Structure 1
């Protein structure tokens, strides 16, 4: 292994130089000069030309990695079973599943009839069935996604919902990347599209119980979900009824239906407060009623359950403590005083969600940084509320992630759950609540003789500047670690919105691990891994903890001999890209390279402009620097763009999308321009996807190529780009 990463080959191309056109603003007595905000003019030919020049420079500077990118793409492809299908999930009278096909980007969604009302054992489709052959007898193709994507550079299915009579399918598509979806309705029996077309929706739609109306959400000019509409089948969109309008700019809305099918719910929430309106399908004449009026700082959700033979609402709320309590209330407007505790608040256990079924409840929770599934069996009255038993579903690994999903039926006796570690591929189980048996239905295949036993996983703990223990999840090949030497390491983090980056498996990551590197996740504050306190101490005026935690994790991994600073590459995306930008300014010596994906690096500019997408709804996360001098000072102290200085930075790769409506392309474009202006001998690249949104390119092959580009840059920065033609254990291609 070389002593230092190789220097990229010299290039004849010079980096693009953005002209400086200063704009001066005054805020709370502070003067701020922005030289590059002219790059915000998305429709400007000059701006597009500058971005294309950035792409050309990046292509030139990474041309030496072309063969490696091809190999990485080939490895991902060779390890992936391209013709595959998901485990069928039971809806009303059908089993639903997805299919993928070799050579196709998107695949298809399908269904077959169930054999009887007590049929809860999913059928086993033929996994190698050709595209023109059914995977199961009686298969209906609901949506051919490749056909829907034909002729479009970008395609995304926002959501789909089957009508209660299983005859009509409402589905939403986006062919631009701006997350404005078009909803259409398909007659599954005939294959014909109805005349109904709904434009400008956010995501999918929800049916009413009668199957006569669709409820959908739209956004305002600031890209805030603010309105719920009701569309009657067979009518034009301009005749749709506005059901709910959220006028508070900090709140956003969404609509759904309880698993029992009895209630429609409209959720309205900010970062700190929530409110629910409920429509009882058994009494529609009452309309939507507010369950409990919003109280600043109180978050809650409602779900319909039947406990001890009585209809009840399950209320998951933080009124009793920051890590939430599960309570029971009547299925009607009920003040907090009427919420009866079912699972009391516990500061060591963060309750995150609850699913209600006829015979049991499933509580999603986390403790000591790990996810857990808690089963509350119904049918007894030991607690007076109809719960006969209360226990966790147990697993053996030190580091893992578990969650339930694909459980649409209220009456089902099983819990469909997913389980994964960083070495064990995603696994789908059915857990029978009556017998307490866990049945493995499928483990995601990894071709080429992959063996999880070749890898070891660890939970490590770094110590932050203020003494707080910060968890790290790590995976590495056993034979690499057995050599006893520091290894190149890829460190990922996010750290915002109480979003937990839990351990997960990645086929693409194997190409890094099998070349001798380790991968780790820094579970920094601002996320939710260690409970609500973990989030609260990583936002607003305590946001600096997020960046300090990441640097502390990097230094811990070096101090403990896992890696060296000249082999350590950090990565984060979106709000995690802000983390990367801040750490680049604050701890550049700790990293050899940094990858910032769709990065929120000009957050002070964004948070000062209430007309920009999402700004007002973000005040509870970052602060309101326009009105609050303290919030301005806090953000200005760490904002990546504002704090670029004349120092030596690690190598930086910034990646963005031109159509992104969440973090505008202009943020990384400005950041890169300022790095080139101020940094000492900067090695900075900007890559702009011109036909993609916040989630990047669409289509699995394009996504693989996209990741291969990033991995090639990471391996090059680590000093692992040369040498092996293929990684150890990689199947021949």
Structure 2
């Protein structure tokens, strides 16, 4: 697990659906002024009660002769049930509601606008598995999805033109699972893994009903929904695989939520009798589980931030014994797959830091053949194997690219890959990712979007070299991609490093003379790539004249492995100075001014926001820090907190003097100063296992104590959610509407301007 997340694009949990409503200011060439409203809002501000102040309880921590005082340490409550803590959080929420009450009607209008861009009744691009098409359906007015399937009527091999039959003559749609029904009795509901058995008769799915990312696995009959056996508790959602039609392999976590054990479960047995395939006792390492595209092998990897080693399990043998594939050597990091008589391994080291691709015989794993050598300017990010092809996802110049290579037959010798065909894309900056495809097919599926082009699914015929569009996300409300401009700029850091910036703006509203409002997003950790993808909710800012920008700062992975290495451990400050450099570049080049510059980051990106607010508060008008990781030293000194031990290789181990003082130099809680700060919104989730709610709570409390300005500082803690906010698709849009309402208020861009 990582401290990640965002309104932007990473990863794992994201709803990229949006709505449409008539633009508030459809024909205005410049943002409107509300000076009269502003005057009345100042009077309203004087009438507001003071913000809640957390009580101070003396607490000192000493390390290396250095004493840190933390008068708000009492806000940490591992049980999340302390009455004083809950009372304080509720007071913060009440104060936030009170301050934002003046624009509640606008916030509601904004939410209606965002939601109105969604085609609420829709289906995902179907995926064919055996005799069925599988897909997800959303229903009008419903928060959650249905998992559905239809029988295949055309038994011919899957082709790029394969289309699921629809209409009255098509096979009936079968709803396997309806999240809307399951979620009725919970405030929070999320399904993670959803795995269909090889014979299509059963489904295993993992559900979280609290937002704490601890999942329960259920197995049901795919046809009638009846339960098969008892649920499996304490699981990690991402790591669940079938090993035949009657066996599951899954991963559980220890007390600090570190994935430490992988289990084999027979459906006819109780969880207490499950066989532990491997127990990782080293607190620096966490387990991962995945299946080969051929579905003949399962791989278990034990990973730290710099090192991993891999075992494999041959499914057909059912011996329940893991065999070693790679060895544990510090600095060597690998991932594996299988095809024919060979394992394919992508591996990285200090020598080949952008990874190389090799193959080894199944019956002789030490005999390695290099298929793609290491290249300084090209990072191998992922691969997808097929019977006759391999698709390699690479990164070059800060952007992904997909390259297809032909493979020799299983009986032919395997050697260096030659003559790859790169799939071409439309926009100058974009996002492209490999999607699940059938191993026996000649079709690879990939997703594509850009900051102005909605997400689309394509099937690419690797023999015919053609792409066919299978599905484009519908954006209602008269959306026209040609009305928007995307571009890439490069800011130059003080050490000469060129930092890419992705930009989106509406071409008939942006003046690019310094008077435009701008929202700058950043992350910069864990080697995560924040690619310039489409998020429809941004239109509610961009259509009001905003420029939306992403700073691809060091600590992320956009520019290759070294980009990450130069923004972690004792080089972490590069992440923050890169962001400041990007902000200064945008001001100097008239994309905005300091008075119109807003910033946003989430989780580890919230650390970024907290750090730059302490370093350069004069540079920004407003800031949003979502579930921010801001108490770095205290957290990383406490191995009882989830993620700490596994992340010493990301941030450093402050039990060592050098790392302690370096972390302290940027940790936001430890660097709040007596100075003016911009307008700030901070959010948290009470059940968050990645960033404890107490970190942002302490940050806000200390900032309220020390800041010298009258700018608003708001704290909103979701009491029934975790790291990724609320679970419903519309509830998530409400969070976006609230955040955007705060930003627009901060810039006096909505009537009436209230008390910000």
Structure 2 SS opposite 1:606: helix
Whole-angstrom distance in 1 between the partners of 2:102 and 2:283: 49
Aligned counterpart in structure 2 of residue 170 of structure 1, from 196, 204, 210: 204
1:252 equivalent to 2:286? Answer yes
| d(CA) in 2 for partners of 1:170, 1:281 | 17
CA distance change for structure 1 residues 374 and 679 in 2, over 3 Å: closer, same or farther? same
**2:702 counterpart of 1:674:** yes
Matches within 5 A, 1:124-523: 124=164, 137-203=171-237, 206-285=240-319, 287-306=321-340, 311-319=341-349, 320-332=351-363, 334-335=365-366, 338-379=367-408, 385=415, 387=417, 389-407=419-437, 409-482=438-511, 484=513, 486-523=515-552
How far apart, CA to CA, are the structure 2 residues paired with 1:655 and 1:332? 53
Distance (Å, rounded) in 1 between the aligned partners of 2:90 and 2:352: 51
State the Cα deviation string for residues 355-376 of structure 1 (Å, max 9, x = none): 1001110111110000110111
Shift of 1:124: 4.5
Q: Is the 8 A contact 1:365 1:372 kept in 2?
A: yes
Q: Greater shift after overlay, 650-659 or 476-485?
A: 476-485
Asked if the contact 1:292–1:333 (Cα under 8 Å) also holds between the matched residues in 2, the reply is no
- Cα distance, 1:149–1:333 mapped onto 2, change above 3 Å: farther
Cα-to-partner distance string for 1:590-629 (whole Å, 9 max, x where unaligned): 1001100000011111001111111000000000002x10
Partner of 1:616: 645
Aligned counterpart, 1:544 = 573
User: Matches of 2:169 and 2:732 in 1, distance apart?
Assistant: 26
Give TM-score scaled by structure 2 length: 0.91
Displacement of 1:163 after TM fit?
A: 1.0
Deviates more, 1:561-570 or 1:205-214: 205-214
Check conservation: 1:568, 1:718, Cα contact below 8 A. no
Q: Which residue, out of 100, 117, 127, partners 1:89?
A: 127
Specify the alignment match of 1:684 in structure 2: 713
Give TM-score, length-normalised by structure 1.
0.94
> What is the CA–CA distance in structure 2 between the aligned matches of 1:562 and 1:387, rounded to whole Å?
44
1:111 to 2:149 alignment:
yes
Post-superposition Cα deviations, 1:87-110, rounded to whole Å, max 9, x if no partner, equal: 101112211111001110002011
Q: In the TM superposition, what is the alpha-carbon distance from 1:377 to its structure 2 partner?
A: 1.5
Cα 1:378/1:559, change in 2 over 3 Å: same
> What SS does the corresponding residue of 2:673 show, helix, strand or coil?
coil
Q: Is the 8 A contact 1:456 1:478 kept in 2?
A: yes
Give 1:261 shift. Answer: 1.2
Q: Which runs of 5+ in 1 are unaligned?
A: 725-733
CA distance in 2 between counterparts of 1:64 and 1:286 reads 62
What's the offset of the Cα at 1:239?
1.3
Native 8 Å contact 2:142 2:180 kept in 1: yes
Q: Deviations over 1:275-328 (max 9, x none)?
A: 11001234444821111111001101111023xxxx111110113510000111
Is the contact made by 1:4 and 1:566 (CA closer than 8 Å) also made in structure 2?
no
Q: What is the 5 A alignment of 1:655-674?
A: 655-674=683-702
* In 1: Cα distance, 2:556 partner to 2:751 partner: 36
Alignment of 1:556-575 (within 5 A): 556-575=585-604
| Partner in structure 1 of residue 51 of structure 2 | 15
User: Among residues 68, 88, 91, which one is paired with 1:53 in the alignment?
Assistant: 91
Contact 2:146–2:179 (CA<8 Å) still a contact in 1? yes
Aligned to 1:38: 74
Shift in alpha-carbon separation, 1:136–1:522, aligned structure 2, 3 A:
farther
Following the alignment from structure 1 to structure 2, what is the Cα–Cα distance between the partners of residues 136 and 77?
31
- Across the aligned residues of Structure 1 and Structure 2, the Cα RMSD in angstroms comes to 2.0
Q: CA deviation at 1:442?
A: 1.6
Query: 1:423-468: per-residue Cα shift (whole Å, max 9, x none)?
Result: 0111111100111011111211111221100010110001112221
Distance 2:605 2:412 in 1: 46
Q: CA deviation at 1:391?
A: 2.1
2:20 maps to none
Residue 646 and residue 81 in structure 1: after superposition, are their counterparts in 2 closer, same or farther (change >3 A)? same
Distance in structure 2 (CA, Å) of the matches to 1:206 and 1:377: 31
Partner of 1:731: none
- Report if aligned partners of 1:360, 1:376 keep a CA contact under 8 Å in 2: yes
1:597 corresponds to 2:634: no
Q: Cα 1:142–1:463, aligned 2, differ >3 Å: closer, same or farther?
A: same
Distance (Å, rounded) in 2 between the aligned partners of 1:617 and 1:677? 33
The answer as to whether partners of 1:13 and 1:60 remain within 8 angstroms in 2 is: no
Q: How does 1:624-703 map to 2 (within 5 A)?
A: 624-626=653-655, 628-681=656-709, 682-703=711-732
Secondary structure of 1:195 counterpart: coil
- How far apart in 1 are the matches of 2:87 and 2:417? 64
Give 1:64's aligned residue.
Answer: 102
Q: Residue deviations 1:481-523, cap 9 Å, x none? A: 2575530000001000000100111111101001111100000
Contact 2:244 2:316 in 1 (8 A): no
Equivalent pair of 1:378/1:389 in contact (CA under 8 Å): no
Give the match's secondary structure for 1:516. Answer: coil
- Could you list the runs of 5+ residues in structure 2 that have no partner in the other structure? 1-30
SS in 2 for 1:62: helix
SS of residue in 2 equivalent to 1:196: coil
CA distance in 2, matches of 1:160, 1:264: 17
* Match for residue 578 of structure 1 among 602, 607, 610: 607
Alpha-carbon spacing, 1:2–1:30, altered in 2? closer, same or farther (3 Å):
farther
Higher relative contact order (CA 8 A, sep 6+): 2
Give the 4+ runs in structure 1 shifted more than 3 A: 1-9, 119-122, 204-209, 282-286, 379-384, 386-389, 482-485
- By how many angstroms is 1:332 displaced? 4.6
Aligned residue number for residue 3 of structure 2? none
Q: Alignment partner of 2:690: what SS?
A: coil
Indicate how the Cα distance of structure 1 residues 520 and 125 shifts in structure 2: closer, same or farther if over 3 A, else same: farther
Please give the secondary structure, in 2, of the residue aligned with 1:642.
Answer: helix
Distance in structure 1 (CA, Å) of the matches to 2:337 and 2:595:
51
